[in-house]
Amino acid sequence: MSIEIQNVSKSFGTFAALSDVSLTVPNGKLMAWLGPSGSGKTTLLRILGGLEFGDCGKIFFDNEDITDVPTRLRQVGFVFQNYALFGHMTVFQNVAFGLTIKSKGPSKSEIREKVMDLLQKVQLEHLAHRYPNQLSGGQSQRIALARALAVNPRFLLLDEPFGALDAQVRKELRRWIRQLHEDLGLTTIFVTHDQEEALEVADQVVIMNQGKIEQIGTPQQVYDAPATPFVYRFLGNVNVLPASINKGKIKFGRTEMVLEGHATVDHSETLAFVRPHEIEISRKTLFHSAGLEVIIQKIHSAGPIAKLSLSRLDNAEKIQAEVPRRQVDSLNLKEGESVLIRIQNARVFQDDYSI
């Protein structure tokens, strides 16, 4: 089922939690809504599920206007951050819950078959007779998902489903949920404040900030071409360096490079956004005067990528660089020495530098 949100706004008192939000979730896709705490993700999700209503705007399911339809008629499967399993019921009973409350529901044997099928889908059949307090956090969330699927939802809304779990479990579960999504093909919205999680799990990512959408795109699009300074900073580490632009060339101190694709307007003073991995390091002899001279202040080389804290010689400005660990070894880089850097890619935004 495709979902369309058109011009939805929502205020609590005088506070605008959502301002004119529009987006389309394509049928069968997994879309992540990503943004910092307080950016309006849960409010928008609740409006979509019918737990809350917008002040204005419309919502369509498969082109049908359901803006005023109550939640029980929307056929939504919800999973929230905090395990909402019933503590006095077994895993089996929890998953069966949605099936047994209907007055003309399925028979006992049908329920049993359905529940066991769902437990198999989340790969936890062997836990059917356990109680929630005998499960790990990750298992609880998988059971919560099985329970959400029991009522044959038309789509799934997952609000920070792994938010309370530790890092290693989160990583495993994000791969697991991606696989489950491939198997089920159910339109799904996955809310998270964790950029790595969103980029790894989703077909499309919506980046939200202060009740507005900053950008919508595939993980690759939003990472490679952030639409705003906010997205640039939110999706990863970034150096923000003073620079000037003249005739398509960007200048950092004495060094100059061609600026591709952006900023045709000249600027005597601007800011350039440069990811740490877009910085190339060399011994002085190789670039001659074409690089920017820096001192290596610190080398963190645990793992395959080394993180270098650099300080410019001309103005002492700090720059973060990331290079393959083996390059640190092959160039024999040491803390305290000076080297040259070249900026391989920089992005300039014409107007808004706030945040």
39 interface partner picked from ligand ADP, Mg ion, none, CB below 5 to 8 A per type: ligand ADP
Residues contacting residue 2 through CB under 8 Å, at least 6 positions apart? 24, 25, 26, 27, 61, 62, 63, 187
Which residues are bridge partners to 32 per DSSP?
190, 205
- Backbone φ, ψ for residue 256 (5° rounding): -130, 145
Residue located via tokens 């896709």: 29
Which residues of this chain interact with ligand ADP, rule CB under 6 A? 12, 17, 35, 37-43
Given a contact cutoff of 8 angstroms between Cβ atoms, the answer to whether 113 and 106 are in contact is: no
What is the largest distance, in Å, between two alpha-carbon atoms of the chain? 81
Q: How many residues bind Mg ion (CB under 5 A)?
A: 1
- Shortest Cβ 17–ligand ADP spacing (Å): 4
> Which of 39, 141 has the CB closer to ligand ADP?
39
> Which of 35, 276 has the CB closer to ligand ADP?
35
- Shortest Cβ 304–Mg ion spacing (Å): 34
By CB under 5 A, name the one of 23, 29, 34, 42 that touches Mg ion.
Answer: 42
What CA dihedral angle connects 7, 11, 15 and 18, to 10 degrees?
Answer: -30
- Shortest Cβ 210–Mg ion spacing (Å): 14
- Shortest Cβ 8–ligand ADP spacing (Å): 12
**Residue 32 burial class via C-beta count within 10 angstroms: exposed 0-12, middle 13-18, buried 19 and up:** buried
- Shortest Cβ 44–ligand ADP spacing (Å): 7
What CA dihedral angle connects 211, 3, 176 and 277, to 10 degrees?
Answer: -50
> Which of 199, 207 has the CB closer to ligand ADP?
207
> Which of 135, 191 has the CB closer to ligand ADP?
191
187 interface partner picked from ligand ADP, Mg ion, none, CB below 5 to 8 A per type: none
- Shortest Cβ 156–ligand ADP spacing (Å): 17
17 interface partner picked from Mg ion, ligand ADP, none, CB below 5 to 8 A per type: ligand ADP
40 interface partner picked from ligand ADP, Mg ion, none, CB below 5 to 8 A per type: ligand ADP
Output the CA angle 190-191-197, nearest 5 degrees.
80
Please report, as a single letter, which amino acid is at residue 42: T
> Which of 38, 106 has the CB closer to ligand ADP?
38
Q: Which two tokens stand for residue 346?
A: 């920089």
Q: Which two tokens stand for residue 29?
A: 């896709």
> Which of 42, 255 has the CB closer to Mg ion?
42
Please report, as a single letter, which amino acid is at residue 153: P
- Summarize as ranges the residues that interact with Mg ion (CB under 5 A): 42
